[in-house]
Amino acid sequence: MHAESGKAPDRPRTSTGGVDRRGLLAGGAVVAAGLGAGAAALALRGGGGGGSAPGRAAAPERRTPPFHGERQSGVTAAQQPATQLLALDLAPAATSDGRAALRALLGESTRVLAEASGAGPADARLRDGEPAGLSSVVGVGPELAARLGLNVPPALLTAVPVFPGDKLDPARGGGDLVVQLCAADRWPLSVVAEQLGAVARAVGATVRWTQSGFLARTAGGATPRNLFGFKDGTANPTAEENGQWVWGPPGPYEHGTVLVYRRIRMDTAAFAALPGERQEQVMGRRAGDGSPLTGTAEHDEPDIYTKNPDGSYVLPATAHVRLSSPRLDGGARMLRRGYSYDDGPGDRGLLFCAFVRDPAQFTRVQERLAARDALNAFVEHTASAVAYVLPGAKEGGTLGEGLFG
Ligand code: HEM
């Protein structure tokens, strides 16, 4: 029996985590009225939803969010259809040398990312394309933080455990520094990842792993589908909820967050072989419009308490959206910005990327999922990484300045 806690009121949600689409549309109207790039930036950063009103012709959001600011751009910027993640490892070194290498790496990475997001990057390969909406996130891993005694939220140092069923490949997960780049297409991602690899090598660091992912480009801000064919990213927190569950608490870490990354292989053939009705019971939502089995519209809140006349739950006991429901977790929400990946036959799936204040939010949900989720028959977690996403760099400043205090 699950106890209800933190009943959340119904509210409009976005697939990208942030503002209500109508608010975003209003933001767009302000921009259109000619209030300029500053207003455009504000509209983008205010809560970070992308997209436009449902049913509207989609103008893909290509404006590049400003690199500089209190928070890094890649957490709440409009979600772009391409991503590249990379993890870097510093050379093992005495603490003081390690700190110096990290400072140098963060300084150079800041320069690379600021330049790639700004006007007229030096690298010709980034100059002639259309604006790609490049956003980035840079975080430090728990092991590095412990090794160098870095100033990170203490909760980060509680590692995400290995869960039953995990088949984790250490070469595809972990890392001292984890970077996520997102853009409208892969071109700038590949160029910027190369530049980051070069600055890493210059301080004796190595690229531990890279992973690229993609999303369907949907019309009118519609929620993209995952490789099982279901809309994924519907129930994401509002901008206000991000303040409670995603960004750090008021104080030294309030502009940081934690990225939890899981590379999850999906057996799409086996799932596709299920009758459609069974697929919907597994997910707890309808494949067509993404509505919960207890509702009629995509953004209706799944109701985990409604029962059928025979006493069974409408949302089955092992349905994914029941087990991941915030109602079972004091209302806690994570900001999910997942991508699909395709690394060849038999290795396709989901790059689960979630931003949380505390990695324990992820752990509590994954403990329930690992134990009972009907999806488990079709998925396998093959890599895992956690990183403290640093506060943003102010103009003229460097990412990670607070780490060494
Ligand atoms: C391949 C693996 C997975 C697939 C295919 C998948 C798919 C989905 C889908 C289709 C939804 C419903 C639409 C939505 O709200 O986005 C959903 C919801 C959700 N999933 Fe997953 N998911 C996977 C793994 C995970 C993992 C590992 C976690 C966290 C431990 C997770 C947490 C959630 C949460 C929190 C929700 C929203 C629940 C709510 O507020 O209603 N999912 N997922």
Which residue has 């040398």 as its token pair? 97
6: region left, alpha or beta (phi > 0 left; psi from -120 to 50 alpha): left
Q: Which residue has the higher pLDDT, 7 or 334?
A: 334
Give pLDDT, residue 23.
31
**Known catalytic membership, residue 176:** no
Check whether 364 has a pLDDT greater than 50: yes
Within 89-136, residue ranges assigned H as helices are: 95-117
Q: And the tokens for 250?
A: 């008021």
Does residue 275 belong to any structural domain of this protein?
A: yes
- How many A from CA of 324 to the centre of ligand 1? 7
Check whether 40 has a pLDDT greater than 80: no
Residue to mutate (ligand 1; options 246, 259, 266, 320; most atoms within 8 A of CB): 320
pTM: 0.88
Give pLDDT, residue 62.
64
Q: Name the residue range of residue 389's domain.
A: 61-395
The mean pLDDT value of the chain amounts to 87
Does residue 83 belong to any structural domain of this protein?
A: yes
Give pLDDT, residue 46.
29
- How many A from CA of 122 to the centre of ligand 1? 40
Give tens-digit pLDDT for 269-324. 999 999 999 999 999 999 999 999 999 999 999 999 999 999 999 999 999 999 99
Check whether 200 has a pLDDT greater than 50: yes
Does residue 319 belong to any structural domain of this protein?
A: yes
Q: And the tokens for 131?
A: 């604006």
Does residue 264 belong to any structural domain of this protein?
A: yes
Does residue 98 belong to any structural domain of this protein?
A: yes
369: region left, alpha or beta (phi > 0 left; psi from -120 to 50 alpha): alpha
Percentage of residues in the chain with pLDDT exceeding 70?
85
CB 398 within 8 A of CB 107: yes
Give pLDDT, residue 61.
58
Does residue 37 belong to any structural domain of this protein?
A: no
- Measured from the Cα of 366, ligand 1's closest atom is 30
State which H helix or E strand residue 60 sits in.
none
Residue to mutate (ligand 1; options 336, 341, 351; most atoms within 8 A of CB): 336
What is the tally of structural domains in the chain?
A: 1
Does residue 111 belong to any structural domain of this protein?
A: yes
User: Catalytic: which of 232, 289, 329, 342?
Assistant: 232
- How many A from CA of 380 to the centre of ligand 1? 14
Burial of 26 (0-12, 13-18, 19+ CB in 10 A): middle
Q: Which residue has the higher pLDDT, 362 or 159?
A: 362
- Average pLDDT (92-118) is 95
Does residue 25 belong to any structural domain of this protein?
A: no
- Measured from the Cα of 350, ligand 1's closest atom is 1
